[in-house]
Amino acid sequence: MAQTDQPAPRIGILMGSDSDLPVMKAAADVCAGFGVHCEVSVMSAHRTPGDVAEYASSAVERGLRVLIAGAGGAAHLAGVVAAHTPLPVIGVPVGGGSLNGLDALLATVQMPRGVPVATVAIGGASNAGLLAIQMLATGDPALLEQVRQYKAHLADEVREKNRKLAVGG
């Protein structure tokens, strides 16, 4: 087996089809921005249900600590993943289709008692990545400091916009 210097991924990003990748890529980009290794996979709750069950059931043993699952339409991927793992699962409803993602939002967010999926906005893969980082950061002081710096940077950006508006007004 090929050896790499890459650390084991701590975040797993799943999507129901490669057509979801343009949306879901944002989650991987956020992880990379924080220097956290993630793994990205395509598997479907409907087309490859056995693969999804196997992936989610073995996620803890493989070192993963948070899972992100994005799908569109009858978006059952995040829920099925949550059914098979004790890890926190973040759901991303992928937009498009005749209902513009409302179907995916409801299918992802309306989980039964006992099996939560932390659902972000339609197309909100960037926030899903950030939430996964924040979850990891609860047990990782260095990562927590990075999140603090990120939020400080966000605040600086808003203040800069306000300053520019005041100057131009």
Tell me which residues touch ligand RP5 (CB under 6 A).
16-17, 19-20, 44, 71-73, 94
The residue with its CB nearest to ligand RP5 is: 16
Q: In the complex, what is the shortest distance from the CB of residue 118 to ligand RP5, in angstroms, rounded to a whole number? A: 18
CB 97 within 8 A of CB 103: yes
Nearer to ligand RP5, 47 or 148 (CB): 47
Q: Work out how close the CB of 38 gets to ligand RP5 at its nearest, in angstroms, rounded to a whole number.
A: 18
What's the N-to-C CA distance of the chain in angstroms? 63
How are the residues of the chain apportioned to helix, strand and coil, as percentages rounded to the nearest 5?
50, 15, 35
Q: Which amino acid belongs to residue 104? A: A
As measured in angstroms, the least distance from the Cβ of 91 to ligand RP5 is 11
Q: Closer to ligand RP5 by CB, 12 or 73: give it.
A: 73
Reduce the DSSP state of residue 5 to 3 states and report it: coil
Residues 6+ apart with CB under 8 A from 101: 72, 93, 94, 95, 122, 123
The torsion region of residue 61 among left (phi > 0), alpha (psi -120 to 50) and beta comes to alpha
Least distance between ligand RP5 and beta carbon 111 (Å):
17
Q: In the complex with ligand RP5, which residue's Cβ is closer, 95 or 129?
A: 95
What residues pair up with 134 in beta bridges, in sequence order?
A: none
Write down the least CB distance from residue 101 to ligand RP5, Å: 9
Q: Of 45 and 143, which has the nearer Cβ to ligand RP5?
A: 45
Residue nearer to ligand RP5 on the CB measure, 38 or 78: 78
